[in-house]
Amino acid sequence: MKLVPGTNTRLPLAGVLRLGRPPEIWFKPALSVVVAVAPPNLALLALGRLDLAMYTMAGSLCALYAHNRPYAARALALAWVVFGMLGGLAVALVAASLTADAAVLVTVGAVLAAVQKVLCDATRIGPPGNVVLTFVSSAALFTPQSLDRIPGHLALAAAAGAWAWLVGMAPGLLRPHGPERRATAGALEAAAVYAETRGTGEDSARAQVTAAAAVEAARQSLHFAGRPSETRRALERLVVRAEVALAAPADADPGLLRGWARQVRGNRPVPEVDDLAGLGAEPASVPHPLWRRLGPLAPLAVRTALGCALAGYVSLALGIGRPYWALVTAASLYQANLTLTWGRGVQRVVGNLLGVLLFAALVPLAHTGEAALVLCCLALNFGAEALIGRNYWLGSVCVTPMALLITEFTGFREPGLLITERVVDTLVGALVGLAAAVAVPERRWQRVVRTERTGPRTLAATGRSQGPRPDQRTGDTTEGVRP
């Protein structure tokens, strides 16, 4: 462990690169992004206009979002993501058409990154959070542009974004209650794990915190699931059972909880349980209005803008003509506290360095033709989404060559130059971004994130059981990020 000079913050290395279990629905975002990206890119390939793929990719990448949200909430969330992507892209394209001054473009990119970070955190749009939006807008800043072409480029992005919206909503035709069913099953599974500890032992506190967070996630999912239905009411009764297990683990039956969890998944009938009148949990906590959540995030905005701007300026000083990778690297680091920010920086550097090695191995194949280039990008899209849930660095191994290959849609470039620029920008972005994280105080932001994002209102959290409160958990578990 290392101590940050002038603080009591420890920066651990152990465990930062450890692989976790894959998410339950890891294949859904992986398949969704491929389905969203493939038709526009293949159409452009057939038309001989692969140089326009950057704009369709901007819209297609919106398919990465909102996979855990009920479909009623997902429809609105995805629409806002597409709108936000178009807004950032429009600002970047206008700026690129008005000036070629790299320092000015870096400044615009840093301000955009700060706005995107704060809005994504305030609205809890994630994973993958702000970094995909920042990647799109930052890349557009350093692409030659003219005002007369902007409407057409935005139209391509909007069309691809609309297609991504349809891809994200399509599973609801087969499993209309899929997200809230998975959330309820997760709450029951976590409650079963805690019940097995009987509320005692070294693992009990951690299991209680995990279960309380899972229960609150289920409550939130059901709260935003739309109008009441028999399925929703049955799921709510099961969530109450999970909360009762949290309050009295010694009296709970882990096998019964797991059996209910198995039945809830899929489209099978939801198990019917008695309504425990008077024992229901408090309603799911409703987020404060957006304007009230933006104010406390001002330090985060300053930190992001400062880190991204300085990273871009340093990259320019080192002779990198298109320093947006340094800017995006800095934007990707900022988490709920300095320890997590440090961990993300280590993961980013390791994943990117391994990713450029993979790019070096793939580039001979990708350079055999435009079709091979498109297929390589599709495979890397799938790999990134399939692996990033295990650990951010593992997903970055695929994200890095994918981002490098996307830059070649306008024409093949010298691989050695691309690799050098990416390595330099990664190191610069990580070091400068971490320095900005140390320089700008984080206490108020951390307190807001901790109380608003991770403060479950459950039977166990209202004083009816012993052990640490679930809102003592720290960290930003929703901030999986990509390029």
For the chain, give the secondary structure using H, E and C: CEECCCCCCEECCCCCCCCCCCCCCCHHHHHHHHHHHHHHHHHHHHHCCHHHHHHHHHHHHHHHCCCCCCHHHHHHHHHHHHHHHHHHHHHHHHHHHHCCCHHHHHHHHHHHHHHHHHHHHHHCCCCCCCHHHHHHHHHHHCCCCCHHHHHHHHHHHHHHHHHHHHHHHHHHHCCCCHHHHHHHHHHHHHHHHHHHHCCCCCCHHHHHHHHHHHHHHHHHHHHCCCCCCHHHHHHHHHHHHHHHHHHCHHHCCHHHHHHHHHHHCCCCCCCCCCCCCCCCCCCCCCCCCHHHHHHHHHHHHHHHHHHHHHHHHHHHHCCCCCCHHHHHHHHHHCCCCHHHHHHHHHHHHHHHHHHHHHHHHHHHHHCCCHHHHHHHHHHHHHHHHHHCCCCHHHHHHHHHHHHHHHHHHHCCCCHHHHHHHHHHHHHHHHHHHHHHHHHCCCHHHHHHHHHHHCCCCCCHHHCCCCCCCHHHCCCCCCCCCCC
pLDDT at 167: 96
pLDDT band at 180 (very low <50, low <70, confident <90, very high): very high
Q: Among 343-352, 378-387, 430-439, which stretch is predicted with the lowest mean pLDDT?
A: 430-439
pLDDT over 70 (residue 227): yes
2 pLDDT tier (thresholds 50, 70, 90): low
| pLDDT per residue as tens digits for the range 387-402 | 998 899 999 999 999 9
For 425-445, what is the mean pLDDT? 80
Residue 443 pLDDT > 70: no
Q: Per-residue pLDDT averaged across 41-46, rounded? A: 95
**Band of pLDDT at residue 482, cut at 50, 70 and 90:** low
pLDDT above 70 (res 386) = yes
Which of 335-339, 414-418, 460-464 shows the lowest per-residue confidence on average (mean pLDDT)?
Answer: 460-464
Mean pLDDT lowest for which of 219-223, 287-291, 389-393?
Answer: 287-291
Among 200-209, 373-382, 384-393, 436-445, the range scoring the smallest mean pLDDT is 436-445
pLDDT band, very low/low/confident/very high, at 62 (cuts 50, 70, 90): very high
pLDDT of residue 441: 63
- pLDDT exceeds cutoff 50 at 481: no
